[in-house]
């Protein structure tokens, strides 16, 4: 198997480029997913802070 990959036609280089491409795609997908999750958490935090402020204003107004 290793002799088949290490032929003189550049198969090792092609396999290395393919692995690099797949790894880059995986890392990019992971980073984009993480950023989307962080944005969701930030929006939920903002909504909860706003709800708390509204609740405190209602309590203070009584």
pLDDT (tens digit per residue) in 4-49:
556 666 777 888 899 999 999 999 999 999 999 999 999 999 999 9
**Dihedral over Cα of 7, 9, 13, 16: its sign:** negative
Does residue 7 lie within any of the structural domains? no
Q: What is the count of structural domains for the chain?
A: 1
For the question of whether the overall pTM of this predicted structure is more than 0.75, the answer is no
- Structural domain containing residue 47: 23-62
Does residue 39 lie within any of the structural domains? yes
Does residue 11 lie within any of the structural domains? no
Does residue 16 lie within any of the structural domains? no
Does residue 3 lie within any of the structural domains? no
Query: Is the pLDDT score of 1 beyond 60?
Result: no
pLDDT of residue 15: 85
Burial of 23 (0-12, 13-18, 19+ CB in 10 A): exposed
């Amino acid at each position: 198997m290793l002799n088949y990959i290490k032929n003189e036609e550049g198969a090792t280089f092609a396999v290395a480029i393919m692995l690099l491409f797949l790894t880059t795609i995986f890392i990019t997908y992971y980073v984009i997913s993480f950023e989307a999750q962080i944005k969701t958490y930030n929006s939920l935090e903002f909504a909860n802070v706003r709800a708390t402020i509204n609740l405190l204003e209602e309590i203070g107004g009584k």
